[in-house]
A = this chain, B = another copy of it.
Amino acid sequence: MDMKSSPCAALRIDGARLWQSLMELARIGATAKGGVCRIALTDLDRQGRDLFVHWAKEAGCSIRIDAIGNIFARRAGQDESLPPVMTGSHIDTQPTGGKFDGNYGVLAGLEVLRTLNVAGVRTRAPIEVAVWTNEEGSRFVPVMMGSGVFAGAFTLEHALAQCDAQGVSVGEALRAIGYAGPAGPAPAVGAYFEAHIEQGPVLENHGRVIGVVTAALGQRWYDVTVQGMEAHAGPTPMELRRDALLAASELVLQVNRIAVERRPHARSTVGTMELFPNSRNVIPGRVRFSVDLRAPDDEQLLDMDQALRAACARVAGERGLAIDVEQVVYFPPQPFTPQLVQAVRANADDLGYSSMDVVSGAGHDAVYVARVAPAAMIFVPCDDGISHNEIENAEPEHLEAGCNVLLRAMLAAAEVVA
């Protein structure tokens, strides 16, 4: 795992070339505000895919497309019977997305290939760069569709049958852009690494360049409905009210406390709220809000689930209201593979980059791939932690650093042939 003694210890990626490729890909679907709108399985997505395939072929790779449209660019290894060491991410974006989310992970992989080519490095295991289909889920759900099918999180048939708002299915859209490959079992993967912008503020806040991602948080999402009694704001004295918003507000504070008491990794958020009838001079009779709980392990997540239910029951009892809690989403926590995580950590140290262990609060393709292969992630900072936004930005030297760590971690896993 340690590269110090490797013949490739001095090998570095070309940060300028990486940046140039990022900027060139960002022209496809470029928005006026400097972002990118390249929705999954649209013609712009096809143009982005075609450009990647062109670059990968230029780098001497063979191309394989699977039935959900995932692209795998393969650089042959000395021993082609070995499972590949893989990296990748996605190039579809949010409707008002940025240049780096996903795209960085794909082009960092391409930059690794190019660097190996220039240096004439051969590896024992083959190396592959994956472009996963529809990570964002803006047009088709479920999100992380390509990696989800690959990892068996849901079936190919289920994914292909999903339709967008216009009634176009994933299967039709794949055929329309020419990226519907043959069906077949997902091949084994020797190790999977994914480089990604952090999409949060932790690295920037701590002044670190490399985030060593130890795990992805598990998630439980809920719909909570508070049923009180609608009444006129004027004629109804305070002591005769059953105000659904008062109960909901108390619960928002309680929900927040659930994660604050379980720092640093737990998260809890109320992101949506609707009042009925939502009129200035009417006491809210009903309030509906979402709860999003996240934790690094299932025990803690279940503990948070119980804290939420207990808070709702207590507030309902104290205020004489009915409160209904319905879980609507569950993603299990996903630890990454300790050996690969350690490779990321050690190589960051070795390269002299400041680093820290972090958890991934958001979903990524790597989280699904980790179900079927050893996997790890490398985070780099993004400005102000902002992502899914046209102003999303990252520093070239951070992207370069993350890519150098990726290069070394992949070489260690694939083994350099002298």
**Which residues of A approach B to under 8 Å, CB–CB?**
198-202, 205, 217, 219, 221, 231-240, 243, 245-246, 248-250, 252-253, 256, 259-260, 263-273, 275, 278-284, 290, 292, 294, 360-363, 385-388
The answer on a CB contact under 8 Å between B236 and A361 is: yes
What is the minimal beta-carbon distance from A366 to any residue of chain B, in angstroms? 14
The answer on a CB contact under 8 Å between B256 and A385 is: no
The answer on a CB contact under 8 Å between B271 and A200 is: no
The answer on a CB contact under 8 Å between A232 and B388 is: yes
9 smallest CB-CB distances across A and B, nearest first, come from A200-B235, A234-B361, A233-B269, A249-B252, A249-B249, A234-B362, A235-B361, A280-B290, A271-B280
What is the minimal beta-carbon distance from A204 to any residue of chain B, in angstroms? 10
Give the residues in chain B near A290, CB-CB below 8 Å.
Answer: 280
The answer on a CB contact under 8 Å between A273 and B275 is: yes
Give the residues in chain B near A272, CB-CB below 8 Å.
Answer: 275, 278-280
Give the residues in chain B near A237, CB-CB below 8 Å.
Answer: 200-202, 263-265, 267
Give the residues in chain B near A240, CB-CB below 8 Å.
Answer: 200-202, 205, 385
Task: Report the separation of the CA atoms of residues A205 and B231 in the bound assembly, to the nearest whole angstrom.
Answer: 14
The answer on a CB contact under 8 Å between A200 and B253 is: no
A-B contact pairs, 13 of them (CB 8 A): A201-B236, A217-B234, A232-B385, A234-B360, A235-B385, A236-B267, A243-B256, A246-B256, A249-B252, A249-B253, A272-B275, A273-B273, A281-B292
The answer on a CB contact under 8 Å between A267 and B361 is: no
Task: Report the separation of the CA atoms of residues A201 and B361 in the bound assembly, to the nearest whole angstrom.
Answer: 48
Task: Report the separation of the CA atoms of residues A198 and B219 in the bound assembly, to the nearest whole angstrom.
Answer: 49
The answer on a CB contact under 8 Å between B292 and A269 is: no
**CB-nearest residue of chain B to A197:** B235
Task: Report the separation of the CA atoms of residues A246 and B233 in the bound assembly, to the nearest whole angstrom.
Answer: 23
Task: Report the separation of the CA atoms of residues A275 and B288 in the bound assembly, to the nearest whole angstrom.
Answer: 12
Task: Report the separation of the CA atoms of residues A388 and B280 in the bound assembly, to the nearest whole angstrom.
Answer: 14
Task: Report the separation of the CA atoms of residues A45 and B268 in the bound assembly, to the nearest whole angstrom.
Answer: 52
Give the residues in chain B near A270, CB-CB below 8 Å.
Answer: 245, 284
Q: Given A231-B201, A252-B249, A362-B232, are A282 and B273 neighbors across the interface (CB < 8 Å)? A: no
Task: Report the separation of the CA atoms of residues A219 and B264 in the bound assembly, to the nearest whole angstrom.
Answer: 45
